[in-house]
Amino acid sequence: MPKLIVLPHQELCPEGDVIEAKSGDSICDTLLKNHIDIEHACDKVCACTTCHVIVREGFDTLPPSDDLEDDMLDKAWGLSPKSRLSCQSIIQSDDITIEIPKYTINLAKE
Protein backbone atom coordinates (compact mmCIF):
# COMPACT_ATOMS: atom_id res chain seq x y z
CA MET A 1 0.00 0.00 0.00
CA PRO A 2 1.50 3.37 -0.98
CA LYS A 3 2.16 6.08 1.57
CA LEU A 4 1.28 9.75 1.29
CA ILE A 5 3.86 11.74 3.22
CA VAL A 6 2.63 15.21 4.15
CA LEU A 7 5.27 17.76 5.06
CA PRO A 8 4.43 20.01 8.02
CA HIS A 9 1.93 22.80 7.35
CA GLN A 10 1.48 25.37 10.12
CA GLU A 11 -2.34 25.19 10.18
CA LEU A 12 -3.46 21.98 8.50
CA CYS A 13 -0.86 19.50 9.67
CA PRO A 14 1.71 21.08 12.03
CA GLU A 15 3.66 17.87 12.65
CA GLY A 16 3.38 16.48 9.14
CA ASP A 17 1.96 13.00 8.64
CA VAL A 18 2.51 9.66 6.95
CA ILE A 19 -0.75 8.21 5.65
CA GLU A 20 -1.51 4.78 4.25
CA ALA A 21 -3.02 5.66 0.87
CA LYS A 22 -5.25 3.64 -1.40
CA SER A 23 -4.22 3.28 -5.03
CA GLY A 24 -6.84 4.95 -7.24
CA ASP A 25 -7.79 7.62 -4.69
CA SER A 26 -6.91 11.26 -5.23
CA ILE A 27 -4.44 13.02 -2.97
CA CYS A 28 -7.27 15.36 -1.93
CA ASP A 29 -9.61 12.53 -0.90
CA THR A 30 -6.79 10.81 0.97
CA LEU A 31 -6.02 13.98 2.92
CA LEU A 32 -9.67 14.60 3.76
CA LYS A 33 -10.25 10.98 4.87
CA ASN A 34 -7.33 11.44 7.27
CA HIS A 35 -8.57 14.68 8.82
CA ILE A 36 -6.23 17.01 6.96
CA ASP A 37 -8.76 19.61 5.86
CA ILE A 38 -7.24 20.90 2.64
CA GLU A 39 -9.47 23.44 0.94
CA HIS A 40 -11.44 22.23 -2.06
CA ALA A 41 -13.81 25.09 -2.89
CA CYS A 42 -15.01 23.68 -6.23
CA ASP A 43 -15.91 20.33 -4.66
CA LYS A 44 -13.04 18.60 -6.46
CA VAL A 45 -14.09 19.26 -10.07
CA CYS A 46 -10.92 21.07 -11.25
CA ALA A 47 -12.54 24.52 -11.25
CA CYS A 48 -10.29 26.28 -8.71
CA THR A 49 -6.81 26.05 -7.18
CA THR A 50 -7.60 25.74 -3.49
CA CYS A 51 -6.34 22.14 -3.28
CA HIS A 52 -2.99 22.96 -4.91
CA VAL A 53 -0.06 20.90 -3.61
CA ILE A 54 3.60 20.64 -4.52
CA VAL A 55 4.75 17.06 -5.06
CA ARG A 56 8.24 16.93 -3.57
CA GLU A 57 8.80 13.21 -4.26
CA GLY A 58 6.94 10.83 -6.56
CA PHE A 59 5.78 13.46 -9.07
CA ASP A 60 6.56 11.22 -12.03
CA THR A 61 4.48 8.36 -10.60
CA LEU A 62 1.24 10.36 -10.93
CA PRO A 63 -0.79 10.27 -14.15
CA PRO A 64 -0.01 13.38 -16.22
CA SER A 65 -2.09 16.51 -15.78
CA ASP A 66 -4.50 17.47 -18.54
CA ASP A 67 -4.97 20.88 -20.18
CA LEU A 68 -7.76 21.91 -17.80
CA GLU A 69 -5.64 21.21 -14.74
CA ASP A 70 -2.67 23.00 -16.29
CA ASP A 71 -4.83 26.05 -17.03
CA MET A 72 -6.11 26.13 -13.44
CA LEU A 73 -2.61 25.68 -12.00
CA ASP A 74 -1.48 28.82 -13.84
CA LYS A 75 -3.64 30.72 -11.32
CA ALA A 76 -2.28 29.01 -8.19
CA TRP A 77 -0.31 30.84 -5.51
CA GLY A 78 3.28 29.58 -5.24
CA LEU A 79 3.22 27.63 -8.51
CA SER A 80 6.13 25.21 -8.96
CA PRO A 81 7.15 22.89 -11.79
CA LYS A 82 5.96 20.07 -9.51
CA SER A 83 2.58 21.62 -8.66
CA ARG A 84 -0.61 19.62 -9.01
CA LEU A 85 -4.23 19.98 -8.01
CA SER A 86 -4.67 17.33 -5.34
CA CYS A 87 -8.22 16.59 -6.53
CA GLN A 88 -6.85 15.56 -9.94
CA SER A 89 -3.77 13.67 -8.72
CA ILE A 90 -4.53 9.96 -8.49
CA ILE A 91 -2.25 7.90 -6.30
CA GLN A 92 -0.80 4.84 -8.00
CA SER A 93 1.41 2.27 -6.26
CA ASP A 94 4.35 4.46 -5.21
CA ASP A 95 4.89 6.67 -2.17
CA ILE A 96 4.33 10.39 -2.67
CA THR A 97 5.62 13.31 -0.59
CA ILE A 98 3.65 16.55 -0.77
CA GLU A 99 3.84 20.07 0.56
CA ILE A 100 0.66 22.06 1.03
CA PRO A 101 1.47 25.69 0.17
CA LYS A 102 1.17 28.28 2.93
CA TYR A 103 -1.44 30.29 1.02
CA THR A 104 -4.27 29.53 -1.35
CA ILE A 105 -6.46 31.63 -3.59
CA ASN A 106 -10.11 31.11 -2.70
CA LEU A 107 -12.25 33.61 -4.61
CA ALA A 108 -15.42 32.23 -3.02
CA LYS A 109 -14.11 33.15 0.45
CA GLU A 110 -12.52 36.50 -0.41
Q: How many domains does the chain have?
A: 1
Checking if the pLDDT of 53 tops 90, the result is yes
pLDDT tens across 71-103, in order?
Answer: 999 999 999 999 999 999 999 999 999 999 998
> What string of DSSP letters covers 50-104?
TTEEEEEE-GGGSPPP-HHHHHHHTTSTT--TTEEETTT-B--SS-EEEE--S--
Say if 72 falls within a structural domain. Answer: yes
Domain ranges, residue 81: 3-99
Measured distance CA(109)–CA(94) in Å, rounded: 35
Domain with residue 88: its CATH number is 3.10.20.30
Say if 107 falls within a structural domain. Answer: no
Say if 110 falls within a structural domain. Answer: no
According to the model, what pLDDT value does residue 110 have?
A: 46
Say if 108 falls within a structural domain. Answer: no
Say if 64 falls within a structural domain. Answer: yes
pTM across the whole model: 0.93
